[in-house]
Structure 1
Amino acid sequence: MFFYVKFFYFFIVYVIMMVIVVIDYWRCFMAYFLKQSHLKGRTYLSIVESFYSPEKHGSAHRTYKSLASVETWKKKGIDDPVAHFQKEVDELNAAHKIKKELQISDESPEVYLGYFPYASLLKCMDIKKYVDYLNNSNSFTFDLYELLSTLIFARLVNPCSKRKTFHEVLPKLHQSVHYSYDQLLSGLGYIGNDYGKFIEIFNEQLDMVYKKETDKTYFDCTNFYFEIDKQDDFRRKGPSKESRKDPIVGMGLLLDANQIPIGMKMFPGNQSEKPIMRDVVNDLRNTYQINGRTIHVADKGLNCADNIAFAKENGDGYLFSKSVKMLPETEQTWVTMDSDDWEEVRDKEGHLVYKYKSCIDQFPYNITIDENTGKKKILMFKEKRVLTYNPKLAAKKKYEIEKQAEKARELCYSQAKRSEFGDLGKYVDFINEKGGKAKAKINQEAIDKERKLAGYNLLVTSETKMSEREIYETYHNLWRIEESFKIMKSDLDARPVFLQKESTIKGHFLICYLSVLLERLLQFKVFNKEFSTYEIMKFTREFRLVKGESKYINITTSSRFIKEFAKLSKLPLTNYYLTERQIKQILNYKI
């Protein structure tokens, strides 16, 4: 029985294939010929077209052009009408052959469509209305909103240099653009000069639609390198996050309680990032008259006495991490002390995830009271300190310490110069015996001390009534801001940057910031965190079409995201063929 079923299946497939071959065969031989008909002693000419008829399952004919009689054409001076019109038939057949042999085009048939959810978000927030106000008050010869929105879409679907974006990406968006490359750079410079104004527009409209929550704000800084030799006033050499020696610019990013970006500040690469947090928070307060209390959350790199004093002065709270290695000896003793104060947090299998203990006390901070003279004063602040220990983090740190210590030993044995040790110098003592050349000797005590403190992290906060677990979970939401930087640097290829002017550089990073903002709104507000950043960005990049003769072919890879989004939106996102009407339906989708 199975044999007959299998035979029948292959027979049906064979028949279908033969039908396709026959159709293609007849299509290849679709042609024109000159027909001669004899009636009442006269010869009538006509050009007839042969074609494949699905109804007849074979060839059929239809009159393409009636040409009157041979005798009539001879009276008009054509000696051989048959030869004359045969030439026309030959030309028709030659043109038909060229038409059937499809040629490659100067323009790519590929169309990017993955930007449509972001276009819907812009419409939902009515961004165009407020950008148009700026457009109308300036003498632009291009549409500023079109430039802003299409640069965001291009950055999301295929990030690359501005020149490549203009020549290779923008033409593949389903909507055409109406500005030149020079106008692109001019517009980018304009939005870069006033990037804070555009962030303000987006924040105001974001608040109208989704509501910002500023009871907790998350802040962090990063920097972006430039592959140039000479510094300028903006691109300066400083401590690079990627340990590069190239000039850099810094970026401070502020997120609200829902990890939605609500503020950005660009600054020269040689500036300290610690005061930037105060600038961004101040800008946000002044712009939106935020009078409510907010908790500033940041990592140890931004934990300084002046930032803590700034939060207290404004009636806000703070939650920072603090380096355990930098604590006084008395506090380090509390860190490593074995006691019954530890509370353990375990997973479903009973494995230790982390443990914690806490204390509330008055702690001293050396505060700057005069910016001009640098005069400082010690103030006591009441705060809660939560010490956590993570066994997985401890194992990772000990492995890294051992690798660094081994490298330091190798440098000691090879009698390397002091400058060659770099950061490994913390594991080495340089001893100068009898006025001779200093020799490097491993400081085993320093290595053992670092190993002893591995896995510990100290959180300090003004929120003494907040539970230890809430403090831990609030602080660890900072990974979202790290992810935002990762999206910029990896998914959006924010660097390296090939622009030269400060204004266009800032405009470039504004486009990256707004792209992240829209992705976060899609992920957190529209999809309610059901999908990861990877899934959303994969769809954004891969939702592409290829333009055929009459329809578009969807070349997107199937995924859980596209299937669920198709159900939610009731759009034909998973269809293989898409018509122009269906594409308009997708582009007009309202979130």
Structure 2
Amino acid sequence: MRVVTSKSKNAESFYISKGYVNDKGVSTSVIVRKLGTLKELLPEHGPTRDDVMAWAREEARLETLKYKQEQEEKQIKLTFRADRQLDYGKQVFYRGGYLFLQSIYYQMQMQKICRKLKQRYKFKYDINAILSDLIYARILEPCSKRSSYKVASEFLERPSYQLHDVYRALDVLGAECDMIQAEVYKNSHFLGQRNDKILYYDCTNYYFEIEQEDGSKKYGKGKEHRPNPIIQMGLFMDGDGIPLAFSLFPGNANEQTSLKPLEKKILRDFGCQKFIYCSDAGLASESIREYNHMGERAYIVTQSIKKLKKEEKEWALSPQGFKRVSDDKPVDITKLPEDDKGLYYKDEPYTTKKLHQRLIITYSPKYAAYQRSIRDKQVERAQKMLDSGKAKRNQKNPNDPARFIGKMAVTKDGEAADIKQYLDEDKIAEEAQYDGLYAVCTDLLDDEVGDILKVSEGRWQIEECFRIMKTDFSARPVYLREENRIRAHFLICFLALTIYRYLEKKLDLKYTCEELLETLKGMNFAKIQEQGFIPLYKRETITDDLHEACGFRTDYQFMTKSKMRTIQKKSKGKE
């Protein structure tokens, strides 16, 4: 509503006017309220005309708020006929869970990145709409790009592009993958300070539904032990579990060679110079440690006790010299009960040719009991295999119970040697000596042990990132063939993971991935007689928390089309 004035020969009158569209589709207006003449209003709201106008505009604002409240509170009367069939091809079902993802997408200023791409490539399709829809579909209903277009057609905001535009956009997204990652990192600071003083790194691989190698899709050691060609991914994650950057490399390449190129990109394009590198032992070679000992960087990596030199290994396996992490008091770990939940450690300098390091050995009775129970069950299975005569070792599985079955050749008075199998007690005892032990190596020589171990323990989050991408977002198998489009596919998975993680953080990590995704997938609506929408989901604590975190509500009994458009604008930060 707005203020309008009318001047006559003797007076100037002030009114509040409301615009609307009449039945013929013509915009017009109506007077809602007369405020009075200038002469009448000056004594109370003066002393000048400008003062009167300021007061009138405030009255118009209040009148607008009152009108909106009345519209929201009024009862909606709808008429249904039992003898009328549905209209052909009329969509009634709409997905609304994407609105909460859209809130994070626009807070990350993704639309501005898309604007840069459009200026660079001069295409006509809406790449912002394509990228956002592909991300939302990857989270809510992971499927092929063609099927994702169909999923997006069920969103409250229908696609403004065609299917062929999606494939064209994939080429651009793949070509600009590195630039997009750098821009996303910079824009992510709009959502709060990044915990980028600790960076976790790990690698995984994804298989393709093809029979032969092609480009970077090579035969390698796949996590799923499938015979298909694979491509590998290296992923950096910050201390809060939010993805930072990723790279792809051939399936037959050594994963250790993937680190330095990606880390150099982070140093150059992201501006991250001071951080602690954290990884497992497989990505903690001597050269990697040296690289992360340079500049303002440091490292905390796991260390294989089995691969230590003889002297360090004997020290690590000895039960002597342990202290409680919480108070540094000496403890005899041989006298601790199995149900003890404490954590104990010992450390000493660990020097190589080029590095002065610190080797920390930890012991957990709870972890020791867990490992022992797992091994006891494997030994039982190994004995059953011996009793049945079907003991065969699976070399690909390091946890195969058959590893506890030994073999020896025996002869009977000049006859040919027979192979005798037996339960290898020495092998069992050798593994038992590592129960409960864990080793960490670092160049932080003066930091508190508790702080170092806390950083190392955070590595589980990067494993969870890979699990979410593979299982919940169905990042594999991959059906695309062209290299650019493959990069675009994993970029979409990476961005989906980033947006999901931020939403998870906004909810204070109160819900599991399964709970949150199931809720988002179920937040759907039915469109009623072109008048508005009825929610089709149950209101629960988690839906209340989602609405509170994102600043809008969709859980009213009925929502007019106008109200839903307002929510869509709010999810994009436009109101």
Q: Please give the range of the TM-score, normalised by the shorter of the 2 chains.
A: 0.7 to 0.9
Aligned-residue offset at 1:426: 4.5
Secondary structure, in 3 states, of the residue corresponding to 2:153? Answer: helix
1:546 maps to 526
| AA of the residue aligned to 1:151 | L
Distance 1:568 1:137 in 2: 35
Distance 1:381 1:504 in 2: 42
2:311 counterpart (313, 323, 330): 330
Secondary structure, in 3 states, of the residue corresponding to 1:119? Answer: helix
Distance 2:86 2:509 in 1: 46
1:502 counterpart (479, 483, 491): 483
Aligned pairs for 1:65-214 within 5 A: 100-103=83-86, 105-167=88-150, 169-207=151-189, 209-214=191-196
CA contact (8 A) 1:395 1:455 kept: yes
| 1:93-139 Cα distance to aligned partner (Å, 9 max, x none) | xxx99994232643542211111132223323322223222113224
CA contact (8 A) 1:415 1:439 kept: no
TM-score normalized with structure 1 length: 0.74
1:358 maps to 346
Q: Does the C-alpha gap of structure 1 residues 286 and 421 become closer, same or farther in structure 2, counting only changes over 3 Å?
A: closer
Distance 2:264 2:431 in 1: 38
1:269 maps to 251
Does 1:571 find its partner at 2:544?
no
Distance 1:150 1:357 in 2: 50
Q: Does the C-alpha gap of structure 1 residues 587 and 98 become closer, same or farther in structure 2, counting only changes over 3 Å?
A: closer
1:556 maps to 537
Q: Does the C-alpha gap of structure 1 residues 307 and 125 become closer, same or farther in structure 2, counting only changes over 3 Å?
A: same
Aligned-residue offset at 1:235: 1.9
Aligned-residue offset at 1:410: 5.1
| AA of the residue aligned to 1:188 | L
% identical aligned pairs: 22
Aligned pairs for 1:341-420 within 5 A: 341-343=322-324, 352-364=340-352, 379-409=353-383, 420=394
Aligned-residue offset at 1:522: 2.1
Taking only aligned residues, the RMSD between alpha carbons, in angstroms, comes to 2.9
1:253 maps to 235
TM-score normalized with structure 2 length: 0.75
Higher gyration radius (CA): 1
CA contact (8 A) 1:112 1:545 kept: yes
Aligned-residue offset at 1:537: 2.4
Secondary structure, in 3 states, of the residue corresponding to 1:353? Answer: coil
2:200 counterpart (218, 242, 259): 218
Distance 2:254 2:395 in 1: 25
Secondary structure, in 3 states, of the residue corresponding to 1:360? Answer: strand
CA contact (8 A) 1:411 1:421 kept: no
Between Structure 1 and Structure 2, how many residues are aligned? 476
Q: Does the C-alpha gap of structure 1 residues 296 and 214 become closer, same or farther in structure 2, counting only changes over 3 Å?
A: same
Distance 1:176 1:421 in 2: 52
Does 1:485 find its partner at 2:485?
no
Q: Does the C-alpha gap of structure 1 residues 211 and 450 become closer, same or farther in structure 2, counting only changes over 3 Å?
A: same
Aligned pairs for 1:55-74 within 5 A: none
Q: Does the C-alpha gap of structure 1 residues 566 and 149 become closer, same or farther in structure 2, counting only changes over 3 Å?
A: closer
Q: Does the C-alpha gap of structure 1 residues 174 and 207 become closer, same or farther in structure 2, counting only changes over 3 Å?
A: same
Aligned-residue offset at 1:241: 2.0
Distance 1:118 1:101 in 2: 38
CA contact (8 A) 2:526 2:533 kept: yes
| AA of the residue aligned to 2:545 | E
**Greater Cα offset, 99-108 or 220-229:** 99-108
CA contact (8 A) 2:201 2:234 kept: yes
Distance 2:564 2:160 in 1: 21
| 1:557-579 Cα distance to aligned partner (Å, 9 max, x none) | 32212123334556333223222
Does 1:427 find its partner at 2:409?
no
Does 1:453 find its partner at 2:434?
yes
1:320 maps to 301
| 1:458-491 Cα distance to aligned partner (Å, 9 max, x none) | 1111112221211121111112212211221222
Q: Does the C-alpha gap of structure 1 residues 288 and 391 become closer, same or farther in structure 2, counting only changes over 3 Å?
A: same
**Greater Cα offset, 328-337 or 221-230:** 328-337
| 1:521-580 Cα distance to aligned partner (Å, 9 max, x none) | 2222x3444544444323322211111213312012322121233345563332232221
| AA of the residue aligned to 1:224 | Y
Q: Does the C-alpha gap of structure 1 residues 319 and 145 become closer, same or farther in structure 2, counting only changes over 3 Å?
A: same
Q: Does the C-alpha gap of structure 1 residues 256 and 344 become closer, same or farther in structure 2, counting only changes over 3 Å?
A: closer
Aligned-residue offset at 1:419: 6.4
| 1:222-243 Cα distance to aligned partner (Å, 9 max, x none) | 1122233222222222222233
2:499 maps to 518
Distance 1:97 1:305 in 2: 74
CA contact (8 A) 1:112 1:157 kept: no
Aligned-residue offset at 1:406: 4.2
Distance 1:171 1:273 in 2: 40
Secondary structure, in 3 states, of the residue corresponding to 2:201? Answer: strand
Secondary structure, in 3 states, of the residue corresponding to 1:318? Answer: strand
CA contact (8 A) 1:260 1:520 kept: yes
Secondary structure, in 3 states, of the residue corresponding to 2:224? Answer: coil
CA contact (8 A) 1:408 1:421 kept: no
Q: Does the C-alpha gap of structure 1 residues 400 and 145 become closer, same or farther in structure 2, counting only changes over 3 Å?
A: same
Secondary structure, in 3 states, of the residue corresponding to 2:234? Answer: strand
Distance 1:408 1:183 in 2: 57
Aligned-residue offset at 1:437: 7.0
| AA of the residue aligned to 1:143 | D
1:301 maps to 282
| AA of the residue aligned to 1:240 | G
1:89 maps to none
Aligned-residue offset at 1:382: 2.0
